[in-house]
Amino acid sequence: MFPPAQSDPWPGNDRPDPHDQPGRPGRPGRADSDADLEERPPEVEEETPVRPRLSAAIAGFAALLGLGLVFGAQTSSPDSRIPFAIVVFGVQVLFVLAWTMAMRPAAYLMVGAVCLVVAAAADVVAVRSQIAGLGPLGYITVAGLGAGVVGQLVRPADRKRVTESLGATLLLVVGVVAFATLITLSRVPRGTQVIFVCLTATAVALVVARLTDAFYPRPRLAPQVPRGATGVVAGAMVGTLASAVLGSFLYSFRPLSGALIGLVAATAAVLVDLAAEYAEAGRQMAGEAPTMWVARHMQGPLGGFALAAPAAYAMTILFL
């Protein structure tokens, strides 16, 4: 009548789950397929936090640096350039300390000592040379670079790093000599006014860029770099505007000429300041020990003024 009932081959709860089949994603014992990996959201790289108080402190340091150099230049006269040279030498010492600690070239103590000697020699030559020009400073730069390389060849452990630290040594030597161009520029007609306009534009650009990062560090240029593009652009624009305003009040200047030299100085300063942050982030990503806290945050503004100084001299010779 009815076929005999067959016994259940899976008694109890041992019946297999119909959904537990090969090829189903997320089951234990099986690697995810390529399609599953493609469906996963990409990992978001963690951003380095921006510290508003630190950005404001760096802005304050840039403002003090600019005030010191600008007021030091106002003390310069044909009979008395030594006070301005002392101010410049103080800034050079800060530059050597900050950038040597940050870049750490081979035999960095020897390189730092050589750079200080180069700074003093460049200042003396800029004050006492009969003709205000960059020729004597060029000779000092070559001699300082040679002395720095020779100092790195003394110890066998440092010889292996001479090639890779050659760029750092060159940058340090050129940086301290670049500040000495301000003394040379103060001896050129209208040079003191150019220093006033250019260094004011530089200081305003750095201060505005850092203060903008303290309040609105967006859009981020890189996750590892705590800087925003808005601050960089705003700093260059406001620095140029400040130089144009100064050019409308100073004798033998016009708003256009003031804006032109201010644009070059302000743009160069904010880009060097930003490049210092990128370099520090690169060193940390490479696994190197972080730079000393104070030196790391002084590095950018000092580098910005170091590049603005020869830029001011070049704009004076070419356009004024």
Q: Are residues 132 and 212 in the same domain?
A: no
Residue 290 lies in a domain: yes
Tell me how many domains the chain contains: 2
Q: Are residues 160 and 214 in the same domain?
A: no
Q: Are residues 182 and 127 in the same domain?
A: yes
Residue among 84, 88, 58 nearest 270 (CA): 58
The residue from 160, 186, 212 where one domain ends is 186
Residue 4 lies in a domain: no
Q: In this structure, how many other beta carbons lie within 10 angstroms of the beta carbon of residue 6?
A: 6
pLDDT digits (tens, 9 = 90+) for 108-139: 888 999 999 999 999 999 999 888 889 999 99
Q: Are residues 110 and 221 in the same domain?
A: no
Residue 74 lies in a domain: no
Q: Are residues 148 and 200 in the same domain?
A: no
Q: Are residues 199 and 178 in the same domain?
A: no
Residue 249 lies in a domain: yes
- Rounded mean pLDDT of 86-90? 96
Residue 15 lies in a domain: no
Give percent of the chain above pLDDT 70. 83
Residue 31 lies in a domain: no
Location of structure tokens 């256009």: 256
The residue from 157, 186, 215 where one domain ends is 186
Distance (Å, whole) CA 245 – CA 53: 30
Q: Are residues 88 and 159 in the same domain?
A: yes
Distance (Å, whole) CA 11 – CA 154: 85
In the prediction, which pLDDT does 234 show?
A: 97
Domain holding 157, by residue range, is 79-186
Q: Are residues 104 and 127 in the same domain?
A: yes
* 188, amino acid identity: V
Structural contact between residues 246 and 196, judged by C-beta atoms closer than 8 angstroms: yes
Structural contact between residues 178 and 307, judged by C-beta atoms closer than 8 angstroms: yes
Q: Are residues 264 and 199 in the same domain?
A: yes
The residue from 186, 221, 236 where one domain ends is 186
pLDDT tier for residue 17 given thresholds of 50, 70 and 90: low
pLDDT digits (tens, 9 = 90+) for 171-198: 999 999 999 999 999 998 888 999 999 9
Structural contact between residues 201 and 264, judged by C-beta atoms closer than 8 angstroms: no
pLDDT tier for residue 54 given thresholds of 50, 70 and 90: very high
In the prediction, which pLDDT does 287 show?
A: 79
226 vs 38, residue with greater confidence: 226
Sequence-distant (6+) residues with CB within 8 A of 40 are none
In the prediction, which pLDDT does 162 show?
A: 73
Distance (Å, whole) CA 22 – CA 35: 15
In the prediction, which pLDDT does 79 show?
A: 73
Q: Are residues 173 and 212 in the same domain?
A: no
Find the DSSP H helices in 40-134: 52-74, 82-103, 108-128
Backbone angles phi, psi at 106, to 5 degrees: -60, 140
Structural contact between residues 265 and 319, judged by C-beta atoms closer than 8 angstroms: no
**Coil, strand, or helix at residue 317?**
helix
pLDDT digits (tens, 9 = 90+) for 240-277: 999 999 998 887 788 999 999 999 999 999 999 999 99
Residue 317 lies in a domain: yes
In the prediction, which pLDDT does 37 show?
A: 47
Q: Are residues 181 and 195 in the same domain?
A: no
Q: Are residues 120 and 240 in the same domain?
A: no
Residues forming beta bridges with residue 228, ordered by sequence position: 220
Residue 245 lies in a domain: yes
Residue among 165, 199, 193 nearest 179 (CA): 199
Which residues of 203-280 form beta strands (DSSP E)? Answer: 220-222, 225-228
